[in-house]
Amino acid sequence: VKADATDNMVPSARSENMRRVRGKNTRPEMLVRSIAHRLGFRFRLHRSDLPGKPDLVFPKYRAVVFVNGCFWHGHDCRRGRRPSSNQAFWDAKLEENAARDRRAEESLRALGWRVLVLWECELRDEVELGARLDSFLRNAEGKDHE
Ligand SMILES: [Zn+2]
């Protein structure tokens, strides 16, 4: 990717770029869905009327879950490491993504939703993931709730 690529993107390329940022039906997302389903929770997907279009929405629990890819959402982990070339471009791009995520979370909380962010790199242990999801949803005072 060229450093100035976004400025010259045609609309279809730009939307393709955005799709990758908040990718739908990604493998990590499918895993979280299948675990939530197995635990018996009812949820809806990508509700576009909510800020940030959360990946999973649990209306009964007034809770949403985002499943974030480490790279595109700027996780502080090995997978989230930025490329060493075109640094200015990636810094701007990924900081913009992270800022968008923060705004969506704040808006959701202001609307009374509880927010859990799951990172791609944290999904290796399905048992642990299930326990985390369960405690987040059932416990209104959950530790993931700021
Ligand atoms: Zn990560």
**Ion ligand 1: residues, Cβ under 5 Å:** 70, 75, 77, 79-80, 119, 121
**Contact call for residues 101 and 73 (beta carbons, < 8 A):** yes
User: How many Cβ atoms from other residues are within 10 Å of residue 25's Cβ?
Assistant: 10
Beta-bridge partners for 57: 44, 64
118 alpha carbon to ligand 1 midpoint, in Å? 9
Half-sphere exposure of 13 (CA within 13 A, CB side): 7
pLDDT tens, position by position, 60-73: 999 999 999 999 99
pLDDT tens, position by position, 90-138: 999 999 999 999 999 999 999 999 999 999 999 989 999 999 999 999 9
pTM for the model stands at 0.78
Report DSSP letters for 91-110, one per residue.
Answer: HHHHHHHHHHHHHHHHHHHH
